[in-house]
Amino acid sequence: MTIDVNEQEDGSTIIAIKDEMVIYNVLEQKNLLYPHIKPEHELQIDLSDVSEIDSAGIQLLIFLKNEATRQQTELSFINHSQAVVEVVEIFNLSSFFNDPVVLSADWDNS
C-alpha cells in the first residue's frame, strides 16, 4: 500500500493515498493513517489516486472522521477521485464528510 506523507511548514500534514481502499488493504491503511490523527493538528487526506473504494474503505473514512472529531484534529478529505465521489453519493454521506468536492470534466459519465 502506498501513501505519501508531506509535513507542511505550517505544521499541517497532507497524506496522499495511492491505492485502492478495499477490504483487502483497509486494515493496513488504518494502521498507517491513524497515527496522524493528533489533538490540535490539521490533516488533509488526498483521495485523487484512489481508483476503487468499497464499503470497507468508506468505513475507514468514517472512522477517521469520527476519531479526528474526538481528538480535535481538523481533518478534511481533498481531491476526491471519481470512484470516491460515486460511493460517497451512493451512501448519501456528502453532508457527513462536509468536504468540498470538485467534479472533473475528465471523469467518465457512463
Instruction: Express the helix, strand and coil content of the chain in percent, nearest 5 each.
Output: 35, 20, 45
pLDDT digits (tens, 9 = 90+) for 15-70: 999 999 999 999 999 999 999 999 989 999 999 999 999 999 999 999 999 999 99
- For residue 99, give the 3-state DSSP assignment: coil
Write down the CATH superfamily of domain 3-97. Answer: STAS domain (3.30.750.24)
List of residues 6+ apart from 2 with CB closer than 8 A: 17, 18, 19
Where exactly are the structural domains of the chain? 3-97
Name the pTM for this structure: 0.88
Kindly state the helix (H) or strand (E) to which residue 66 belongs, with its residue range: helix 55-70
What pLDDT band is residue 108 in, cutting at 50, 70 and 90?
Answer: low
